[in-house]
Structure 1
Amino acid sequence: MLPALSRNPLWMGRNGPLLLVIMDGVGYGKYQEGDAVRAADMRNFRWLEANNPSTRLKAHGTAVGLPSDEDMGNSEVGHNAIGCGRVFSQGAKLVSASISSGAMFQGEVWKEIVDNVKSSQRSLHFIGLFSDGNVHSHIDHLRAMTIRAAAEGVNRLRFHLLLDGRDVGSQSALEYVQPFETFLQQFEAQSFDYRIASGGGRQFITMDRYGANWDMVRRGCLPPKPQSSNIGPQIRALLTRI
């Protein structure tokens, strides 16, 4: 059981209803210049802040359970911290810890997958968000899984890259695709068959959580013909035209 939170002795409580309002995107920046919240005419907000007990909370980094203070916050981690009243390590941090300790590769799921592709002499497929945004994923996790797969004798590996552009800069895919192709060359030199097999954007197809157009997702995730060649150069060619 989690320990109960200590009550602040300066807060005596209040009678009547209590309203919790989450204002996504509202926060004070480090500098006054260019700070939209400081510049906005928010007279009711200012009155509440000036005439009631108030404090400011950090909304990024380790304060909300992210791996480091270099990681920007997002609504999901902020909602978790405020709603729970305490900080929990978020997914990316948990995965990093699991990889560092080796626990991830000792799990039954990993062992079963590796044993299956080796015994059947089939390809191992990795699909996921391809960036270092550290909100839903991080490329370092993919690199670690690739290194481990090679160490365990997985001969064929296919990568299905979901390009980001949301948790990282828009049209930044080449900043990630090109270094990853260079990373894969070391395995090619060891006679491993590791290739980028497919890819796509995040927002409207493979990770769409707004329009929820399943037919579009299905068509985006299930191409008519399997791709066995390395399409990294094709991705680069397409992106350089945008």
Structure 2
Amino acid sequence: MVLAILDGWGLSPSWGGNAIEMAMPVHFNELWRQYPHAVLQALRAVHQPQKEESSSWIRVGNSEIGHAIIGAGRLLRFDLDELNEAVVSGAFFQNPALRESFSQIKDNGALHLIGLVSDGGVHSHINHLEALLRLAKQFNLTKVLIHFIADGIDTPQTSALTFIQKTKEIITTIGIGRIASITGRFYAMDRDSNWKNTSACGRLLLQGKGLVVGQPEKAIADFYRAKLTDDKFPPTLITDCKNDFIRPNDTVVFFNFRPDRMRQLVTLIKKDEKNLQPKVITLTSYFYQADDNDNVKVAFPPSYVKNTLAAVISAAGWRQCHLAESEKYAHVTYFFNVGKEKPLDGEERLIINSLPVNKNGKISQPEMRTPEIVDQAIKKIKSKKFEFILINFGNLDMVAHSGDPLLTGRAVKAIDKALDELSRAVLDAGGSLVITADHGNAEQIVNIADDLAGDPETFHTLNPVPLIVVARPIKKNLISQAMTVDRGGLLAEIVNSRRTLADVAPTVLTLMNLPIPQEMTGKSLI
């Protein structure tokens, strides 16, 4: 059994901004026509801490949510849900870890708030920064410094000024806080061991070394004139705070809720070579192994999920291999295994180092490691060592975030070629191949919003994703009876489908003749 997750491959009718359809993926389309398929919803509705009921819900789809729901076989409550509800209920302001840490900040100490400031809802949310400022106000803290990480990936590429203005409005309303620095997520949120980028941000935070500009607005204007998008802003200090870097006994709160892109920066801060030893708090758990949590306090610890797909396979005594390139390490490990970072019994992992990005942070080879991934997957299939193989093809999502239609088209073709090779290998081995995706992205790389119409769209979409079951005719006949396709074409399927990513794991277990645990609320499509 092979489960292939096409990161960022959403479904949408063909139009000029659909890089997938424009690239004409002949092999994917052939598999879609020839084998049973379904359309799966891949987003979650999340409550927002706002008074107006009409605007109190957002819909999010991202890699963490997608892989976790696929792996869990059920719809889950995620950190964004928990934090938003804690803000609404007031539990956020009674959090013991936060209150204890804030109460220990001395008169000459500072509170540093570090995180992605946007409303993208993928890695963070500006509302959580506001909640932290309100809590700091309760403790009458006098020195609260905001280290603003600009987005430009999960939000429009040039929207940083909007969030600077929103942050200043929050500061004025609450009466506490200053923006001390501004840095693009390319530097602050690297996850692929590009330590040069992380260290540049670290020097800013720990030593006060970086560009110095009078006001955030001036810095942003300069960056835009240099044709930099928000995510590429170099580490920059604001003049009034140029000496307000992290010092011994300061308290540092990282307010991203998604862990993978904050791990390197947190590791650098908590293990600073000058032994500053600031008190470090993460809003959620960034590390799932005890040793990595040394010197870090977690405000909202995780709750673990039982009987995931990987756990059921492991409990059956079967072997599994999880395969991806390093940019997507988290996706096939603690995302898919739902918070479990240590490999399960019988689980092996093969992580291929991603190609380095160029100095401008751009991906020059849109194929990335797709050819190597499919080659290794075929070797694993032929070895007959594993009953289950999980693959993440990550290049499409990575490239689609650039908003470049030509590069994204090349990424589509690379995956299309890989699917042809992979499906042949699986069928030759007498196995089954389940193809799906975690969320949409590449099917909409042109913005259609009124104020941004025609601009590149770099963030995830809320579109559904495909599910294709590739198997020999005897299984195909069985599957076909259960996976009846709605009449009316793709548009009708997209509109009408009530199936979700939670249905993937039960379907895989049915194909593997393994029992579906009662904790899985998704339904097998067979």
Shorter-chain TM-score bucket reads 0.7 to 0.9
Q: Answer whether contact 1:60 1:66 (CA < 8 A) is retained.
A: no
Q: Answer whether contact 2:47 2:85 (CA < 8 A) is retained.
A: no
Matched residue pairs, number?
212
| Structure 2 residue matching 1:20: 3-state secondary structure | strand
Indicate which of 97, 118, 135 corresponds to 2:85.
97
2:172 corresponds to which residue? 185
Counterpart AA for 1:217: T
State the distance in 1 between where 2:143 and 2:62 align: 36
- After superposition, the CA RMSD in angstroms is 2.7
Higher strand share: 2
2:465 corresponds to which residue? none
State the distance in 2 between where 1:69 and 1:187 align: 24
Is 1:32 paired with 2:14?
yes
| Structure 1 residue matching 2:215: 3-state secondary structure | helix
State the distance in 1 between where 2:57 and 2:21 align: 23
| Structure 2 residue matching 1:56: 3-state secondary structure | strand
1:201 corresponds to which residue? 184
Report the CA distance between 1:226 and its aligned residue.
4.8
2:33 corresponds to which residue? 50
Deviating above 4 A after TM superposition, structure 1's stretches of 4 or more consecutive aligned residues are 65-70, 224-227
Counterpart AA for 2:146: F
1:237 corresponds to which residue? 218
5+ residue gaps, structure 1:
1-17
Report the CA distance between 1:232 and its aligned residue.
8.6
State the distance in 2 between where 1:206 and 1:42 align: 35
State the distance in 2 between where 1:236 and 1:156 align: 22
Give the structure-2-normalised TM-score. Answer: 0.37
Is 1:152 paired with 2:139?
yes
The change in CA–CA distance for 1:233 and 1:184 in structure 2 (over 3 A counts) is farther
Is 1:137 paired with 2:120?
no
Indicate which of 181, 202, 216 corresponds to 1:221.
202
Counterpart AA for 1:156: K
Counterpart AA for 1:240: A
1:128 corresponds to which residue? 115
| Structure 1 residue matching 2:183: 3-state secondary structure | strand
1:15 corresponds to which residue? none
Report the CA distance between 1:38 and its aligned residue.
4.0
Q: Answer whether contact 1:66 1:90 (CA < 8 A) is retained.
A: no
Larger RCO of the pair (alpha carbons < 8 Å, separation 6+): 2
Report the CA distance between 1:72 and its aligned residue.
4.2
Indicate which of 70, 81, 100 corresponds to 2:69.
81
State the distance in 2 between where 1:237 and 1:23 align: 40
5+ residue gaps, structure 2:
49-55, 225-526
Q: Answer whether contact 2:213 2:219 (CA < 8 A) is retained.
A: no
Indicate which of 142, 145, 163 corresponds to 1:176.
163
State the distance in 2 between where 1:66 and 1:56 align: 25
State the distance in 1 between where 2:208 and 2:26 align: 58
State the distance in 2 between where 1:54 and 1:76 align: 24
State the distance in 2 between where 1:225 and 1:144 align: 28
